Amino acid sequence: MSSYTIGIDTGGTFTDGVLLSTGSRRVVAWSKEPTTHHDPGIGVDRALQGLFRGGVRPEEVKGLAVSTTLATNAVVEGRGARVGLFVLGIVRHFKLPVVANVFLKGGHDISGREEQPLDIEGLVDTVQGLKKEVDAYAVCGAMSIRNPTHELVAQKAISMIDPDKPVFCSHLVSAHPGMKERAATACLHARLMPLMQDFLASVRRSMEKIGLVCPVTVICGNGRGATLEEAVERAAVTMASGPAATARFGATAGIGTALVVDVGGTTTDICMLDNGRPMMRSSGCRIGSWQTHVEAIDMYTAAGGGDSHVVCGPDSSIRLEAARVQPLAMTPDLPDPAGWLGCGPHDTLILPAPAPDPELAARDEILSWLADNGPATPGTLAEQTRLSGIILEKRLERLAYLQQITVAGFTPTDALHVLDRLDIGNRNQAVAGAKRLGAVLAMEPDPLCRRVVSMTEERIETIIIDYLGRVIWDDNQAVPFLSRRDNELFRMDFSLKLPIIGIGAAARSFLPEVARRLQTSLTLPDHYEVGNAIGAALIGGSS
């Protein structure tokens, strides 16, 4: 009887599925569906359905492996659960991008002896004030890797005061002494746990719907697999899930030493192969501005991809923003961009989610207004709801995190549609957006879109150089040098000594020019469009 392994990869733009023959590891079928952010399970379900159209039966599938960049993307974009961090002990103060950074007395010394009593009264008072402001808590005590008592007491106290919120202790997720990195690791577990919990539950529902009863493996950043339960409890281990699958697929190209570059919608992920094996970073991976203690493939993830937001300024300038927006070409029922697309507060459109939470919609003035009036720009919402500035911005961020709204805007994906270099969405909507932006900037649509594509290629090139610079030098040496390589007096061009292996649906659109600029070769292996799903299946099949 034939047996198969399924690989699923859920990214910021697409959810990919592959069906591999267990014995030969040959790709039997593959599918690519838009990621449905309001309910990722819908995209997973459609990708799974596409794998069984050739006659393979669900009972022939012996395992399903899942990789995802949802956690990575959430970190890069600044999304995720709202976290309150408590740091216990005599330490130099530091700041992480969470709702609250609270430093209290407590902690232990290097031998595990109590340095000072835990400030339990201060802890209780602070939690009372944070209850309505956070979704989860993280606790990091000085030398808790030697003696976790204060962390455990704090966890118990927080749980008694705010019993419905999870609390993550740093000693459970890191055995390294660095306080800031250990705190960051605990914060990311707290921040990502609700997201991973919802996503993996949706995978389970999709499996049940199609009749799959096989074991499930979640790909971790270190290239190994975890159970569903482990992935939820220690959600940050999935941060580099997508890059780990990227590295595994890149190794199938048969090139011993190479740079593997995955161009996604939200981010570009880079890792290096050395003698056909991915390089590891046991001390902890870095994603965006977060340095962690999460063991992972030695990779670099930075904002920049096919769905980066193209923004025009009042001085007729164009820039790419880190935030991902839904491309116009991929947005159903999009109003004519000529009526809303422009500069400043009018360069995005807020649409209600396809399946909004009725209770939340009834009490939230933004969702209520959208339900009654349809999509609107942030400027219109400010006028109609009397919310403005940072208050409106934070409310929209919160609704996006809850998957209650979709934010649409012009992207490099749209530019590729206009230039007939991509055909996966509604080209007419992309053209309408390009015409509108072109009118604002006094440019024809085609030159505008060529500029957007060139800017994206430049961004990917910079990400590659940044990664390699950090491999050769440490960050303190690399950052000033790389940030000034194109200045008012000179420009430095680079010639790579490594070939590039490309992965992702956008790889063919952007990487050939990137490789030419870096004076190196580019390889696009068979099925590179769904390479991460193949990598996930290969890891899952060997677990």
344: left (phi over 0), alpha (psi -120 to 50) or beta: left
List, for residues 302-320, the tens digit of each pLDDT value: 888 889 999 887 677 888 8
Our measurement of the distance from residue 159's CA atom to the centroid of its chain's CA atoms, rounded to an integer in Å, reads: 29
Q: Highest mean pLDDT range out of 85-94, 177-186, 446-455? A: 446-455
Residues 321/309, Cβ–Cβ less than 8 Å: yes
pLDDT at 345 over 60: no
Per-residue confidence (pLDDT) for residue 22, from 0 to 100 = 86
Mean pLDDT value of segment 391-400: 86
pLDDT at 288 over 70: no
Per-residue confidence (pLDDT) for residue 427, from 0 to 100 = 95
Quick one: DSSP state of residue 470?
H
pLDDT at 489 over 90: no
Amino acid at 336: D
Q: How many CA atoms lie within 13 A of 116 on its CB side?
A: 11
Cα 532 from Cα 261, distance rounded (Å): 11
pLDDT at 245 over 80: yes
Residue ranges per domain, the chain?
81-192, 309-449
What confidence tier does 35 reach under pLDDT thresholds 50, 70, 90? confident
Give percent helix, percent strand, percent coil of the chain, each to the nearest 5: 45, 20, 35
List, for residues 128-158, the tens digit of each pLDDT value: 999 989 999 999 999 999 999 999 999 999 9
Q: For the chain, how far is it from start to end, CA to CA, in angstroms?
A: 21
Q: Output the pTM of the full model.
A: 0.80
Percent of all residues in the chain with a pLDDT value above 70, rounded to a whole number: 94
What confidence tier does 477 reach under pLDDT thresholds 50, 70, 90? low
More confident residue, 441 or 315: 441
List, for residues 346-381, the tens digit of each pLDDT value: 589 999 887 777 788 788 899 999 988 999 999 899
pLDDT at 284 over 70: no
| Averaged pLDDT of the chain | 87
Percent of all residues in the chain with a pLDDT value above 90, rounded to a whole number: 41
